[in-house]
Structure 1
Amino acid sequence: MSLRQWWRDLAMGVRFAFAGGREGWVRALLTAVGVGLGVALLLLTTALPSALAVRHDREDARTDITFSDKVIPKAADTLLVAATGTTFRDLSVRGRELEPEGPKAPLPPGVGAFPAAGEMVVSPALKKLLESGDGRLLRDRLPERIVGTIGESGLIGSHELAYYRGAEGLAAQGVNGGRIERIDRFGNPNPTTERTDPVMLLLILVVFVVLLMPVAVFITAAVRFGGERRDRRLAALRLVGSDGRSTRRIAAGEALAGAVLGLVLGTGFFLIGREVAGSVEVFGMSVFPSYLNPSPALALLVGLAVPAAAVMVTLFALRGVVIEPLGVVRTAKPARRRLWWRLLLPLAGLAMLYPMVGQGRDEGDFNQYLVTGGVILLLVGVTALLPWIVEAVVARLGAGGLSWQLAVRRLQLSSGTAARMVNGIAVAVAGAIALQMLFAGVEGDYTKNTGYDVSRAQMQVSVPDGKTLAATARQLSATKGVEKVYAFDEGYVADGPGDEARWSRVTVADCASLREIAALPSCREGDSFVLQGGGDDGEEGALTAEPGRTLYFETATSDGSENTKPVAWTLPKDVKQARSLVDPTGYKRGGLLITPSALSSTVAPGVRGQIYLRLDDSLPDAREYVRNTAARINPLEEPMEWVSFERSDRYDSIRTGLFVGAACVLALIGASLLVSQLEQLRERKKLLSALVAFGTRRRTLSLSVLWQTAIPITLGLLLASVVGLTLGAVLLRMTDTTVRVDWSSVLSMTGVAAAVVIVVTVLSLPPLLRLMRPDGLRTE
């Protein structure tokens, strides 16, 4: 067969799609919409690496606080930068104070001119928040006049909250390389590439495969829309002299036309989605539309793969169909599907993953080709097994109500069509269950217990230099939403002034606060205590066991530099014994407890105030009132909010990406199912009209349509659960993690999938009711 003949047959199929009357272009449009939705999601996925890279580059380009020990001398091109970021209702606000030291001081990216003291430039999202009623409490913290906005080049996302405000006298507060820095340019001076954890790489790889597989399944299902009507048109072609092979190539050309039109629609959907993406924030992440630029190579791959897949899928679908001049031999009972080769796909997938079982993170990276191939084969196994399972089950279904019998008979005649409708959702659920098991299994490796007792305190505030513990504690205790304040001055003492000295902890507080961290025999102002049962008892106990001995505090020098000098202090002779208790930070302290009057003023600079706050949880904005008070006390010190557990930022980012991708895939699932359902109803228009004309109740027909969806969906979800649990168990064994089934995740994923199907079914009822009219039998 010549290439020219192939081209002629394909071209004829394209003409039939667009010039074959209403049936032809309606089918082409339905195919294009289904393919277009998949293409749009594929393009968005191929654009994600670009978006993440741009966000990283923008973050690097504006880096200013580098925690460097090197101090740059003041010059005409230097700038003082202070980190003043804050948090507002779980939203992170990036903040900087700027003080140019010369006319050539570098401007931050996205900023046209330095704001003066009392002025600030803000991101568009922060400006909108500050001008709204919801931002009233944040406005109290950022009262400066807004004189401009930060441009896109200075932000990592369209919804990022950020500001730069003018400052004066930063140098007097000390250039310390962590809170205030002097820089001569913005940007990360030492970009580093850290080795990624093998388990993290496995998570990323599996996330991408699991999210893209349902898209590929939906695209292959979309190119087969309108199969029954198409086959009748193909029979007419055989009647006028076309042979079987040419007829199949013409059918492939028709599918090719829908796929190419789907590429056009998909590009349009992608451009619309890209603009929409710039106006939304999902799980705390946002991007600018310009970030979402697909890689040209990946976009070209999508553009070539989708039409090629349309042709191949159509030829594959027609391989067992006998197209004759007087009809299509598909209405007869089809040959039973074979099971053996369908089982080979998941078994081959397991065989590819098996060599990596037990590897964990200690034996290098996982083989990405084996991982990708194994997961794909397991998920493709779902699409291969589901038609066999649906056929085998519906063949054994029988007695029931009229609606049940109508649904079962329809499924027995076209079980393949029913399976194709739910293949995508089954693949999505199987992949999601496996990923949820993997995430739940390895979460402990990326989550640590902070030890904080959040029932006793929820926030911590450091007392700034130049402020007293008592005055700061009074301000915070008077703050709305604060129920109790535990205030401590904390420091360390040594048994000598040299580098070889041994150290012990010192805590200074009133008796009420000291009772929160130790069991005291009695306490009144002027008392001192040696703690037993906390810290390193051997070292600290030996250091403080001799009343009257001389100890040394480290205090800062008067010039504000980082140098320190030891100041002698005598341990009181009447020091008492106390038993250490677990303090609000989850730690048993050792060393000394001292009431304020027992500490001489000469060593007072050797301790630093820490205040722990218990809040009124019934007041939603209690934390915001505390942050406002803390900002008035010291704008360069952000209060710390306590949490019971902390998770790795990278782990959280991957999990966020999974949720964002899953949301997009679920939207695609719903839209594609709806299109597929409408296409099925359109093909059965005359049949439904005939049943209504013979007196069948509409309620009966509506229930039959519901059963036709519910039966294959139930079977698909059961199969997805089995495959998902198997894949999840294998992935956990690969990471050398104990296999545990997260049943709540399994049930939630199957529940979400079932909810999507119910919504699609409800949305398809109005078109169904319109089709169930006797006048649908009219023809021209």
Structure 2
Amino acid sequence: MNARQWTRDLGMGTKFAVTGGREGLVRVLLTAVGVGLGVALLLLTTALPSALQARDDRGAARDDFTYSGETAPKKAAADTLIIGRRDSTYRNREVRGRLLEPEGAKAPLPPGVAKFPEPGDMVVSPALDKLLKSDSGKLLRERLPYRITGTIGRSGLVGPTELAYYAGADGLEKRLSGGVAERINYFGPSQQNQDDKLDPVLLLLVFIVFIVLLMPVGVFIAAAVRFGGERRDRRLAALRLVGADGRMTRRIAAGEALAGSLLGLVFGTGFFLVGRQLAGMLEVRDVSVWPGDLNPSPALALLVAVAVPAAAVLVTLLALRGVVIEPLGVVRTVKPPRRRLWWRLLLPVAGLGLLYPMIGQGNHNGDFSKWMVIGGTVLVLVGVTALLPWIVEAVVARMNSGSVSWQLAIRRLQVSSGAAARLVNGIAVAVAGAIALQMLFAGIESEYTKDTGNDVGRAQMLVELHGDMPLKELGRQFTQTKGVRSAAVVSTTTVGDRAKNPEDSLAVAVGSCAELREVATLKSCRNGEIYRIVGGSYDDETKKIAQAGRTLYFAPAYDGNQPPGAAWKVPAGLKTAGPREDPIGNARDGLLITSGALPAAAKAGLEHKVFVSLDPSVTDAREHARNTAARVDPLSYDFTLAASDQSPQFRSIRTGLFVGATCVLVLIGASLLVSQLEQLRERQKLLSALVAFGTRRRTLTLSVLWQTAIPIALGLALASTIGLTLGAVLLKMTNLAVTVDWWSVLSMTGIGAAVVLVVTLLSLPPLLRLMRPDGLRTE
């Protein structure tokens, strides 16, 4: 067999597909839509790494806090800028804020900003501008009392939906020592910043996420190229009648599939371009991308362009291998031979065999072999597609009795169980992979989640700020805020043995008696008294430094930019207090000074911590507290107290899974709908004939529902079994105990069933239109 014959026969099949009348054209369009949806998702997947890299690059280009005194300039110069950090959160959305004070004509401009805003002005991102001008941004406008004078360009934003602003300010130099402001002379990543490398378990998680998301896409593409198989076979029988041999007819059939896949590439490119534009308007868990950043890798895009048509030809040839096409008909019209089980079991067994050598590795016994992980997982999931047709055939062969609708459905499944299995193969693979992933996520979550020590029963927010406001008035500002039940203001500073660069120092907490009891154990307390905490980790150090009559210095300076600390003589008669963890889990040492005993000269160096207890019944209570903090100190910093905290890498992987799973679910629903409509179209004359003979529409509708429900139930049962097995092996590979989150298993299975149910309901209107007697007309 030479290449010329292959080319001629494939070309003939392509010609038949596009010139074979209405039936052939409809089949090609259905195939193209099904393939196009899969191609679009593949292109989006190949484009996602470049989009995320572009996000990271823009984020690194605007880095401003080096967190290193060695890299930050010490003194003002023509090219220096003081930048203050004012990040915040608004209704669970991050708001990136910076205050700018240029110190010279050559001060660096932030990326995306044309000129520095004047004090009282700000430039904002388009998304923040839209939010501030809407009714839902009313509370945020109170927090940002600046006039909008410009917009941040694309080069200064990681995504189109990011909320960010730069505001002009003055007087930031006095805040350089507090960690909320820094002097810089460039924007960009610090030389000391290094990318965090994923550990072996997280890398394994990334591999499994990509496999689980892409496998259903490949399954749907393989199913899409087989649309209209029964009518195609009748056309091939006609070709045999005019002299074509069996091999030639198979190549012509492959040419028809090739035409649909090539048109599918065109459709897929169009779907991708539309989806890329829509991506700019979407935000999933605070992640958004610019449409221009979604550029597929040329090598991967070329691979998709070659692999999809090649797969279409290969799948068609394999599908016709067991079909005898004769001049007067196709053997498929009679009961097909029983499927063999042994080779179908080899696929998942071989996959588990590839994964077995890596059991017990975890994070301490070397990296996982990525090719063995990919190969083993793919074989296990492909085993779902191989086993499901055999299971459907074996089960429906033993079903006979029942209502008329049930018998119609069973007979149809007995005749074409393969087509029914293809309809649900993709959803079964997706559910199996999702169950395995959920087990892996649930198993390793505790490894990447740590207890913060926060006592969320005592406080739900912590606000850190500076200011000269009296402590009593500061507490009143918060307690009178809407939605705040109570606020304990504890001011902190340090005392050292020297005004500059002390050798020994102690922590100091200042507040009322009630507020000091939040951070220490006091048997009795009166305003004007001073206490020394005993029983803490640094008890000996406290006794050494806090001696009566010794001169100490409040807020001693550690660099040339800070003024020297104020002198203070330790009074006699220090009382004792015991350590107690504050709401964020810190047990203090050092000194406690009530407000009445604090020297006036020491008030300027205080930093205030406000432990805020919120009323959960008040809507936006957290936002009202943040507004109060911003009003008291524009450079205040607040964060929500939580009982636990997760690794950022783990959270980002889970976010990526959520984004990808959303896209795959959309593809699953769309592809299933196309498949269902294609099968209904092939049965149009049969349905019309049954209606013409008096069969009730309700009976036919129920039969169609049973034809979908039975394979789905079997597919989900198989998917659960395979998913649990794969999940157990993956947990063993990470050296963790095997635990099953049954709620996740049920939820994943329920989501798969819900998608099919929605698709079935959407296919009912076309089904009712097809069940008309005039459907028997033909040309």
TM-score category (smaller protein):
over 0.9
Asked if 1:46 is matched to 2:46, the reply is: yes
Distance 1:565 1:76, change over 3 A: closer
Residue 673 of structure 1 aligns with which residue? 672
1:180 matched residue in structure 2: 181
- 258-267 or 134-143, which moves further after superposition? 134-143
What is the deviation of 1:513?
2.1
In 2, Cα distance between the equivalents of 1:564 and 1:99? 24
| 1:501–1:556 distance in 2 versus 1, CA, 3 Å | closer
Q: 2 CA distance for matches of 1:319 and 1:715?
A: 26
Query: Do the aligned partners of residues 551 and 609 (structure 1) sit closer, same or farther apart at CA in structure 2, a change above 3 Å counting?
Result: farther
Q: Secondary structure at the match of 2:443?
A: helix
Partner of 1:276: 278
Question: What's the counterpart of residue 645 of structure 1?
Answer: 644
Cα distance in 2, alignment partners of residues 606 and 86 from structure 1: 24
Aligned position for 2:167 = 165
Determine the structure 2 residue equivalent to 1:90.
Answer: 92
Residues 217 and 143 (structure 1 numbering): CA distance in 2 closer, same or farther, change over 3 Å?
same
Q: Distance in 2 between matches of 1:628 and 1:711?
A: 57
Letter in 1 for 2:4: R
Tell me how far apart the structure 1 counterparts of residues 559 and 700 of structure 2 sit (CA, whole Å).
89
- Which residue of structure 2 aligns with residue 222 of structure 1? 224
Q: Superposed, which structure 2 residues align to 1:336-347 within 5 Å?
A: 336-347=338-349
Once the two structures are TM-superposed, the CA of residue 332 in structure 1 deviates from its matched residue by: 1.7
Residue 286 of structure 1 corresponds to 288
Q: Is the 8 A contact 2:323 2:331 kept in 1?
A: yes
Q: Which moved more, 1:355-364 or 1:496-505?
A: 496-505
CA distance in structure 2 between the aligned counterparts of 1:640 and 1:657, rounded to whole angstroms: 24
Quick check: 1:62 aligned with 2:62?
yes
**1:301 alignment counterpart:** 303
Is the CA contact (8 Å cut-off) linking 2:502 and 2:556 kept in structure 1?
no
Aligned equivalent of 1:445: 447
Q: Structure 1 stretch 638-647 or stretch 487-496: which is displaced more? A: 487-496
Q: 1:596 and 1:182 mapped to 2: Cα distance?
A: 33
**Cα offsets for 1:549-600 (capped at 9, x unmatched):** 747455235998347558454354262x545444322344444444223444
Equivalent of 1:210 in 196, 212, 219: 212
Please report how far the alpha carbon of residue 446 of structure 1 lies from its aligned counterpart in structure 2 after TM superposition: 1.6
Match of 1:622 in 2: 621
Shift of the 558–218 alpha-carbon distance from structure 1 to 2, 3 Å rule, reads closer
AA aligned to 1:333 is K
* 8 Å contact from structure 1 (residues 61, 109) kept in 2: yes
Cα 1:425/1:481, change in 2 over 3 Å: same
Given that 1:547 and 1:573 are in contact with CA atoms closer than 8 Å, whether structure 2 keeps it comes out as no
Q: 2:508 touches 2:592 (CA, 8 Å); kept in 1? A: yes
Partner residue, 1:745: 744
Stretches of structure 2 that go unaligned for 5 or more consecutive residues are none
The alignment's C-alpha RMSD in Å is: 2.3
Aligned to 2:375: 373
The answer on 1:685 being equivalent to 2:684 is yes
Residue 166 of structure 2 aligns to a residue in which SS?
strand
Judge which range, 521-530 or 686-695, deviates more.
Answer: 521-530
Which structure 2 residues correspond to residues 119-130 of structure 1 after superposition, within 5 A? Answer: 119-130=121-132
1:692-714 deviation per Cα after TM superposition (whole angstroms, max 9, x unaligned): 11111111111111110000101
C-alpha displacement at 1:476, in angstroms? 1.8
> How many residue pairs get matched?
776
C-alpha distance 61-592 of structure 1, shift in aligned 2 (>3 A): closer
Residues 431, 749 of structure 2: 8 Å contact kept:
yes
SS of 1:556's equivalent?
coil
- CA drift of 1:56 comes to 0.9
Contact 1:488 1:611 (8 Å CA) reproduced: yes
Aligned counterparts of 1:28 and 1:363: Cα–Cα separation in 2? 52
**Distance in 1 between residues matched to 2:90 and 2:323, nearest whole Å:** 64
> Which one is further off, 363-372 or 256-265?
363-372
Aligned equivalents of 1:506, 1:644: Cα separation in 2? 26
- Tell me the distance in 2 between the aligned counterparts of 1:559 and 1:15: 81
Match of 1:694 in 2: 693
Q: C-alpha distance in 2, partners of 1:483/1:334?
A: 74
Q: Are the aligned partners of 2:496 and 2:555 in contact in 1 as well (CA < 8 Å)?
A: no
Cα separation, partners in 2 of 1:469 and 1:500, compared to 1, 3 Å: closer
Structure 2 residue 347 is the aligned partner of structure 1 residue 317: no
What is the CA distance between 1:540 and its match in structure 2? 6.2
SS in 1 for 2:763: helix
Percent of residue pairs bearing the same amino acid type? 63
Give yes or no for the alignment of 1:475 onto 2:474.
no
Of the structure 1 ranges 327-336 and 25-34, higher mean CA displacement relative to structure 2 is found in 327-336
Cα distance in 2 between the residues matched to 1:605 and 1:148: 36
Q: Does 1:3 align with 2:30?
A: no
Over 3 Å counting, the alpha-carbon distance change for 1:256 and 1:493 in structure 2 is: same
* Amino acid in structure 1 at the alignment position of 2:383: G
Q: Are the counterparts in 2 of residues 77 and 101 from structure 1 also a CA contact under 8 Å? A: yes
Gap change, CA 1:167 and 1:578, over 3 Å in 2: closer
Amino acid at match of 1:33: V
Q: Is the 8 A contact 1:238 1:244 kept in 2?
A: yes
C-alpha separation in 1, matches of 2:81 and 2:494? 35
1:4 Cα offset (Å)? 0.6
Worse overlay, 136-145 or 760-769? 136-145
The residue type paired with residue 134 of structure 1 is S
The answer as to whether partners of 1:97 and 1:165 remain within 8 angstroms in 2 is yes
Q: Please give the alpha-carbon distance, in whole angstroms, between the structure 1 residues aligned to 2:102 and 2:531.
A: 50
Q: By how many angstroms is 1:255 displaced?
A: 0.2
1:330 aligns with 2:340: no
Cα 1:537/1:103, change in 2 over 3 Å: closer
SS for the counterpart of 1:723 is helix
> Which residue identity is paired with 2:186?
R
In structure 1, the partner of 2:398 is 396
Q: Which moved more, 1:397-406 or 1:25-34?
A: 397-406
Counterpart residue type for residue 525 of structure 1: N
- Taking a change above 3 Å as real, the CA distance of residues 267 and 525 of structure 1, as seen in their structure-2 partners, is same
Note the alpha carbon deviations across 1:143-199, whole angstroms, 9 max, x for none.
22211111111111010011112222333x244494323333322142533322111
Aligned pairs for 1:111-150 (under 5 A) are 111-150=113-152
> Displacement of 1:528 after TM fit?
4.0
Deviation at 1:779, TM superposition (A): 1.9
Show the counterpart of 2:37: 37
TM-score (norm 2): 0.95
Q: Is the 8 A contact 1:459 1:642 kept in 2?
A: yes
Distance 1:32 1:110 in 2: 42
Compare 610-619 and 374-383 and name the one that shifted more: 610-619
Separation (CA, whole Å) in 2 of partners of 1:562 and 1:734: 54
- TM-score (normalised: structure 1): 0.95
- In structure 2, distance between residues paired with 1:189 and 1:507: 34
How far residue 432 of structure 1 moved from its aligned partner, in angstroms, is 0.6
Alignment deviations for residues 326-366 of structure 1 (CA, whole Å, 9 cap, x no partner): 00001222111111111111111111111111111122321
Cα 1:573–1:29 change in 2 (3 A) is same
Q: Indicate conservation of the 8 Å contact 1:555/1:605, yes or no.
A: no
Cα shift at 1:504: 5.3
Residue 480 of structure 1 contacts residue 622 of structure 1 at CA under 8 Å; is this kept in 2?
A: yes
One-letter amino acid matched to 1:555: A
Mapped contact 1:530–1:578 kept (Cα < 8 A): yes
In structure 1, C-alpha distance between the alignment counterparts of 2:486 and 2:529, rounded to whole Å: 23
Alignment of 1:563-642 (within 5 A): 567-570=567-570, 572-573=572-573, 575=575, 577-601=576-600, 608-642=607-641
Cα distance, 1:284 vs structure 2:
1.2
Partner of 1:386, secondary structure, is helix
- Judged with a 3 Å threshold, the aligned counterparts in structure 2 of structure 1 residues 135 and 735 are, in CA distance, closer, same or farther, namely same
Query: Which whole-Å CA distance do the structure 2 matches of 1:493 and 1:168 have between them?
Result: 29
For residue 722 of structure 1, what is the aligned residue in structure 2?
A: 721
- Measured in 1, the distance between the counterparts of 2:711 and 2:571 equals 80
Which residue pairs with 1:236 in the alignment?
238
SS in structure 1 of the partner of residue 555 of structure 2: strand
- What is the distance in 2 between the residues matched to 1:450 and 1:52? 29
Q: What is the one-letter code of the residue matched to 2:180?
A: R
Q: What is the correspondence of 1:650-665 to structure 2 with a 5 Å cutoff?
A: 650-665=649-664
Contact 2:532/2:574 (<8 A) preserved: no
